Structure 1
Amino acid sequence: MIITFSRPTDTVNTMDIFWPIASYLIGAVPFGFLVGRLAGIDVRAGGSGNIGATNVNRLLGKKFGVMTLILDCLKGFFPIFLAARLYAASPLETWLVPACGVLAVVGHMFPVYLGFRGGKGVATALGVFLFLSPAAVGISLLVFVATVGFTGFVSAGSLLTAALMPLWLLAVKMPMVTVLAALVIAVLIWFKHRDNIGRLRRGEEKSWKKR
């Protein structure tokens, strides 16, 4: 049996709705939780209780932390890579590919598989923007490293990087719909970091320099 894919038309149809939904479901795969289970623990019950790479690294060490980071990054990259290949040269590509990226991040943050309680979306967003604009990611990584190195707070680096990503996308002349997608993702990341923001303001946030 041979399965073939027809090129999408210029008008929206049922299959076009499938890709953003599939992106959400892929983004919702809780790799941090699964990696923790592989190691014999529930990462939600220790550390910050988050399923992201930072908490996995805190509880299980660098090997599992890096594994989670890569997997979370890939689930942001993979859905929009497929969408871009399928919708290449279609007018729908301009908005559908960024939409798939946003939905992948939403899936990580609010995964249906874990009762909509997920991670903070930074690694998945990294995968999204690695595809959309490697140049903007390169600038953002410099900002992230500098911020974490200066302040000692990973959360501060994540927040500043998310906030500035739309500016870098404008600087490298990405389409406005991609910039808007970055704004939506930035707002979501700040929302998911609201507890970190509170601890930063109170001087209670954990610093990697003190570990």
Structure 2
Amino acid sequence: MIPALVTPLPWLLLAAVCGYLLGAVPFGMVMARLFGLGDLRRIGSGNIGATNVLRTGNKPAAALTLILDAGKAAAAALIAGMLWGPDAAQLAGAAAFLGHCYPVYLGFRGGKGVATFLGTLLALAWPVGLAACATWLAVAAVLRISSLAALVAAALAAPWAWALGRPEMILLCLALALLVFLRHRENIARLIAGTEPRIGRK
């Protein structure tokens, strides 16, 4: 359920640190600043991710945030994988996810990690990543609730990894899915109460 640990510990630590620092770059806030949207932490839910950027009504900024937040995790995993191997790739992707959720640049108050989660999966095993993305899109298209789509996609990531022949990713998928759920505690409470906002609402 995990890749063989063959990379020396110093290189694994370097992969983790570099992945974390890359993942901690708050692209949502960067896009908000570039597009003149104001302080993203004072808008909507206060989250720094693409969904909250979309609440400003600026779709290009939201799309760029989504791409960059996914891309930073994918880049971390791909570079670590090329330099050291699959074990370092998984660690760097997980570290990028943690960096997005708990960025040192913002006092460890970051986003909820959905885009970085999907970017990590796409980089490590694109069929698993595509399946998770398709799950998110299907739920979002039908129910128009981003948080619910994220929770379903995260919950099904490990089953997708197993079904698509990537058992070495199951533990990573389970760990990141748990963190996605933890980061969505308030959303889960609103889902239960029926007050969770739908996609597109400012």
Please report how far the alpha carbon of residue 210 of structure 1 lies from its aligned counterpart in structure 2 after TM superposition.
6.8
Say whether residues 1:208 and 2:199 are aligned partners: yes
Contact kept, 8 Å, 2:78 with 2:124, in 1: the verdict is no
Residues 38-47 or 145-154, more deviating: 145-154
Say whether residues 1:118 and 2:110 are aligned partners: yes
**Match for residue 94 of structure 2?**
102
Q: Deviations over 1:7-26 (max 9, x none)?
A: xxx56243331111110000
Please report how far the alpha carbon of residue 194 of structure 1 lies from its aligned counterpart in structure 2 after TM superposition.
0.6
Say whether residues 1:31 and 2:27 are aligned partners: yes
Q: Deviations over 1:183-206 (max 9, x none)?
A: 111001111111100000001001
Q: Which has the higher contact order (CA 8 A, sep 6+)?
A: 2
Residues 140-149 or 22-31, more deviating: 140-149
**Match for residue 90 of structure 1?**
none
Please report how far the alpha carbon of residue 138 of structure 1 lies from its aligned counterpart in structure 2 after TM superposition.
2.2
**Whole-Å separation in 1 of the counterparts to 2:133 and 2:11:** 35
**Whole-Å separation in 2 of the counterparts to 1:142 and 1:38:** 30
**Whole-Å separation in 2 of the counterparts to 1:185 and 1:151:** 23
Question: Where in structure 1 are there 5+ consecutive unaligned residues?
Answer: 1-9, 88-92
| Superposition pairs of residues 83-102 of structure 1, within 5 angstroms | 83-87=80-84, 93-102=85-94
Please, what TM-score do these two structures have when normalized by structure 1? 0.87
Q: Partner letter of residue 103 of structure 1?
A: A
Equivalent of 1:134, from 126, 133, 139? 126
Q: Partner letter of residue 36 of structure 1?
A: A
Aligned length in residues: 196
Q: 3-state DSSP class of the match of 1:34? A: helix
Q: Aligned Cα RMSD in Å?
A: 1.6
**Match for residue 71 of structure 2?**
74
Please, what TM-score do these two structures have when normalized by structure 2? 0.91
**Whole-Å separation in 1 of the counterparts to 2:39 and 2:99:** 20
Please report how far the alpha carbon of residue 208 of structure 1 lies from its aligned counterpart in structure 2 after TM superposition.
2.8
**Whole-Å separation in 2 of the counterparts to 1:31 and 1:208:** 20
State percent identity of aligned pairs.
Answer: 39
Q: Partner letter of residue 129 of structure 1?
A: L
Please report how far the alpha carbon of residue 164 of structure 1 lies from its aligned counterpart in structure 2 after TM superposition.
0.4
Contact kept, 8 Å, 2:7 with 2:87, in 1: the verdict is no
Please report how far the alpha carbon of residue 172 of structure 1 lies from its aligned counterpart in structure 2 after TM superposition.
1.3
Change (3 A) 1:107 1:210: closer
Please report how far the alpha carbon of residue 163 of structure 1 lies from its aligned counterpart in structure 2 after TM superposition.
0.6
Residues 11-20 or 59-68, more deviating: 11-20
Q: Deviations over 1:45-88 (max 9, x none)?
A: 1111000011111115101001111110110110111111112x
**Whole-Å separation in 2 of the counterparts to 1:38 and 1:12:** 41
Q: Partner letter of residue 155 of structure 1?
A: S
Q: Deviations over 1:134-166 (max 9, x none)?
A: 111222223222212222211111000001001
